[in-house]
Structure 1
Amino acid sequence: MTQGNSKLKRQRGAIDTLPSGAMRVRVHAGIDPLTGKRHDLVEVIPPGPTAARDAEKARTRLLSQVDEKRNPRTKATMNQLFDRWLEVLDVDVQTRRGYVIKLDKHVRPVLGKLPVAKVDTELLESFYAMLRKCRDRCGGQRFVQHRTAAVHECDGRCGPHKCRGLADSTVRQIHWILSGALARGVKWNWLAINPADAADKPPLPHPDPHPPTAAEAARLVNEAWKDPDWGTFVWCAMNLGARRAELCALRWDDFDLDNSVVVLRRSLFVDDDGELKEKDTKTHQQRRIVLDSETVAVLEEHHGRCVERAQALDYELPANAFVFSTGPVGDVPLVPDTATQRFGRMASRLSISSVLHSLRHYSATELVTAGVDIRTVAGRLGHGGGGATTLRVYAAWRSEADQRAAATLAARMPPRPRPAGQ
């Protein structure tokens, strides 16, 4: 009997009978890397005639997970994983802000309190399906959706909730945020495998850019030129194809108008405190863009206006003054959101369906249509990958380009056979 008891003590794992008759299986799985405390795998078997046999099977299964290193390594929650991941994440401020917003708004309310070990592929796919169905995760419940959580008088913007799912592109971004956090958890031994690796995510959206037509572009420029400063901004947005944050960050010493070139080296962003700051470009690369003679003339006229405004206040315009500025001496840059809103109002007045970013589409599309090679277009827009992004996203199909392609192909075709007698 003593010998039999010693064999049981040498067994790994413990099986205890609870007062309810259920059996609790406990297997040591190492030290929790987050808390430094003992980490056990625990499973409770309901009472019944087969409870003892089922408990032994569970013990064997849990031991196998530990031996094969497939077991969860911590009792940490997803919120704890997100917090730790964000501490070590090396991305720029804007990207981090985007991650935090999506986590706080969509992910933490649903998954945040769950143990990391409970998050599997099935749960992630169910979560994505829920977001695609309703971004407010209503679960089919009816309620009044108010325009703000603050105390207010309801108006036409408050009313019965209507389900609106997140766009596939947003759900994909959430998937990659989760995948990145869980991958770091695997690296830290918080969990054995990354469940996001096997989860199905929405497909890449089909790019469908809508740049303004040549006629619409002309109307936009003419309308903008009622204010020459604003007209210069819209002209440069069309001609340079630069991002709005890059345009707003331009300084006069970025230009060499004598040699008709500009170097895009910075962009603007709003930090966590709401302050407008400068950083490098989205691709972290400077790019040199050649200017045509008309654009040089537009910029020279704009520079003259800036100099006159500064001199009227007995100031000399600094060489590094912002090109597009709300201050008389070029010390305050145009805010990117302000430019976007002003362009939207202008397009709306003209009954043109367009946004400021569409001018970037316009620039790329017109260059491709004119026969400029993709690498050159990609270089002007600041794209990598040999121009793949430029061709896939920004180069909208143009009928005149397709007509030229058809004519070129027809000219190289061999003569078609003629029926006998013709």
Structure 2
Amino acid sequence: MTTPRDTLASRRVRANGDGTVYQRKDRRWEAAGYVLASGNTRKRIRVYGTTRKEALSKLTEKIAASNRGLPAPSAQGGLATYLTYWLQNVAVHQLRENTHTRYTAVTRLYLIPGLGKKKLAKLTAKDVRTWLNELRTTCQCCTRGIDVGRDEPRCCDIGKCCSKRLSPLTLAYVHSVLKSALEHAVREEEIPRNVARNVRTGTSRPRRFEPLTAGEAREFLAATSDHRLNALFELALRTGLRKGELLGLRWEDLDLASGTASIRRTLQRTNSGGLTALPTKTQSSERRIAVPTPCLRSLEQHRARQRQERDAAGERWQNSGYVFTRHFTALLCQAGLRRIRFHDLRHSTATLLLEQGVELVVIKELLGHAHIGVTATVYAHVRLRLQRDAIDLLGNTLRNPAETTDKPDDRDEPPLWAEPVR
């Protein structure tokens, strides 16, 4: 019901350039005004709200952006124009630098070539689905002309397509970037709905990884026992911390007396600033964990060695305050182990803990996952193997006593017990 106050407010004269605000017949409030558009022109825009204050606030925000010289994107323009605007004026302030770099690459390589000429207002779910199907079935070497820059002709240059297609994970990532851009267009009321959300790409399988087995983990710890960064590798394998979290540890984050570590930051290499300390990946990643006793001894030795190096360097010593700096692949070769990523040490930790029967919620807290569903999804194959072991155990219980033999099962191995923590 319209109050006299609202009626008077809607009719009062506003200053020139402030736009107009009035209530529509459908009881919503509409605000309209002129803002800067592409090509150094001006256009009239309309925004809506359930109250006069909400509609006026939206209009004021758009006029303020216009006064700062930011042209409003036009739904009548092409998707390429809007994606460029979104990356330069919105995403750059909301994403980490490395994430923004990946979003820019995805936009340049896939979104603009495939959908850039489409009008933002006329983009349909069918357009998105057709484009994704083409990405799924097209060789990227042929499409992007990668062979042109090669010294030796390959793939389509010699008439033998290598069929290098995007993986399901990459396809899902490209789709997610488009959804993020269109979601902001909906919030800015450039389009009524996000058509990319109506397209399903299917659930992609988690990336396969090869964690260390219990025996390989023991061999790795033995190979790194005399290394200068032994404390780094031991802490990575026994706690499952991310590489950036390990490198971001400072001595004030460690309480060696109580045996705990506070994870407050992550160290990442960016294009603009080199090694940069950033907040943790998510709010759940900022946590306090127990440090195993062997790691406490390794850290004490590492600090003593670091002090000796500082005294030997004298004035040349550059004190960063960080616990570690970083030799991984060479150690794997030295130990005679297969080549894995440093991040697979984190997967090894979680896998070994699951095989010891540790509850999933405990592993989730240790790894710093935002949701337990992430932990359950990533390590679903491990849980399936544990289910099979449980079924086999039940089968042994239900077996006819006359069929049992005293022959030991060669597959049974003693479990790798977790180290005690303080």
Interval of TM-score (by shorter of Structure 1 and Structure 2)? 0.5 to 0.7
Shift of 1:396: 4.8
C-alpha distance after superposition, 1:15-52 (max 9, x if no partner)? xxxxxxxxxxxxxxx9999554489xxxxxxxxxxxxx
Match in the other structure for 1:343: 328
Greater Rg by CA: 1
Q: In the alignment, is residue 392 of structure 1 matched against residue 387 of structure 2?
A: no
Residues 117 and 88 of structure 1, relative CA distance in 2, 3 Å threshold: same
Counterpart of 1:224, as a letter, is T
TM-score normalised by the chain length of structure 1: 0.68
More helix per residue: 2
Could you tell me whether the CA contact under 8 Å between 1:208 and 1:393 is conserved in 2? no
**Counterpart residue number, 2:173:** 173
2:360 aligned with 1:374: yes
Q: Is the 8 A contact 1:207 1:392 kept in 2?
A: no
- The equivalent of 2:140 in structure 1 is 136
In the alignment, the residues of structure 1 paired with residue 261 and residue 154 of structure 2 have an alpha-carbon distance, to the nearest angstrom, of: 46
**Deviation per residue, 1:280-308 (Å, 9 max, x gap):** 11113421111121111111111111111
Unmatched runs of 5 consecutive residues or more in structure 2: 1-32, 46-73, 403-422
Report how far residue 143 of structure 1 moved. Answer: 8.1
User: How far apart, CA to CA, are the structure 2 residues paired with 1:319 and 1:256?
Assistant: 20
Cα distance in structure 1, aligned partners of 2:146 and 2:275: 38
Q: How many aligned positions are there? A: 332
Q: Establish whether residue 199 from structure 1 lines up as the match of residue 199 from structure 2.
A: yes
Partner of 2:24: none
Would the alpha carbon gap of residues 395 and 365 (structure 1) be closer, same or farther in structure 2, given more than 3 Å must change?
farther
Gaps of 5+ in 1: 1-29, 40-72, 148-153, 326-333, 335-341
Task: Give the aligned partner of residue 121 of structure 2.
Answer: 117
**1:78 corresponds to 2:63:** no
Deviations 1:103-156 (A, max 9, x none): 1222223322432234322221222122223362735x9984434xxxxxx269
Q: Pick the aligned partner of 2:390 from 401, 405, 419.
A: 405
Q: CA RMSD in A?
A: 3.7
Given that 1:269 and 1:277 are in contact with CA atoms closer than 8 Å, whether structure 2 keeps it comes out as yes
Compared CA separation, residues 283 and 235, structure 1 to 2 (3 A): same
CA contact (8 A) 1:131 1:137 kept: no
Shift of the 189–286 alpha-carbon distance from structure 1 to 2, 3 Å rule, reads closer
Question: What amino acid maps onto 2:257 in structure 1?
Answer: D
User: What is the CA-CA distance between 1:320 and the residue it aligns to?
Assistant: 6.7
Letter of the aligned partner of 1:253 in structure 2?
E
Deviation at 1:276, TM superposition (A): 1.5
In the alignment, the residues of structure 1 paired with residue 375 and residue 317 of structure 2 have an alpha-carbon distance, to the nearest angstrom, of: 37
* Identity in percent: 25
Which residue number corresponds to residue 126 of structure 1?
Answer: 130
- AA partner of residue 105 (structure 2): I
Contact 2:140-2:166 within 8 A present in 1 as well: no
Secondary structure at 1:384 match in 2: coil
User: Residues 122 and 252 from structure 1, CA distance in 2 versus in 1: closer, same or farther, beyond 3 angstroms?
Assistant: same
CA contact (8 A) 1:252 1:321 kept: yes
Q: Determine the structure 2 residue equivalent to 1:240.
A: 239
Q: Which region of structure 1 is more displaced relative to structure 2, 78-87 or 310-319?
A: 310-319
Q: Deviations over 1:135-181 (max 9, x none)?
A: 62735x9984434xxxxxx2699975623111111111111111121
Stretch moving more, 158-167 or 101-110: 158-167
Structure 1 residues 258 and 220: alpha-carbon distance in aligned structure 2, compared to 1, 3 A threshold: same
How far is the alpha carbon of 1:85 from its aligned partner? 2.1
Q: 1:382 Cα deviation (Å)?
A: 0.2
Listed one character per residue, the Cα deviations across residues 303-334 of structure 1 (whole Å, up to 9, x for unaligned) are 11111111112369999721112xxxxxxxx4
Aligned position for 2:20:
none
Give 1:21-420 correspondences, 5 Å limit. Answer: 34-35=37-38, 36-37=42-43, 74-86=75-87, 87-89=89-91, 90-134=94-138, 136=140, 138=142, 144-147=147-150, 154=151, 160=158, 162-206=162-206, 208-225=208-225, 228-284=227-283, 285-314=285-314, 321-325=321-325, 334=326, 342-347=327-332, 350=336, 352-385=338-371, 387-394=372-379, 396-397=381-382, 401-402=386-387, 405-406=390-391, 409=394
Distance in structure 2 (CA, Å) of the matches to 1:400 and 1:144: 43
Question: What SS does the corresponding residue of 2:324 show, helix, strand or coil?
Answer: coil
| SS of aligned partner of 1:262 | strand
Q: Which residue identity lines up with residue 253 of structure 2 in the other structure? A: D
Shift of 1:374: 1.5
Q: CA deviation at 1:214?
A: 1.4
In the aligned structure 1, how far is the partner of 2:244 from the partner of 2:145?
A: 41
Look up the equivalent residue of 2:184 and give its one-letter code. R
Q: Distance in 2 between matches of 1:217 and 1:242?
A: 16
Q: 1:402 to 1:74 in 2, by over 3 A?
A: closer
- Alpha-carbon spacing, 1:229–1:145, altered in 2? closer, same or farther (3 Å): farther
Partner-residue secondary structure (3-state), 1:388:
helix
Q: Tell me how far apart the structure 2 counterparts of residues 123 and 155 of structure 1 sit (CA, whole Å).
A: 36
Q: Secondary structure at the match of 1:303?
A: helix
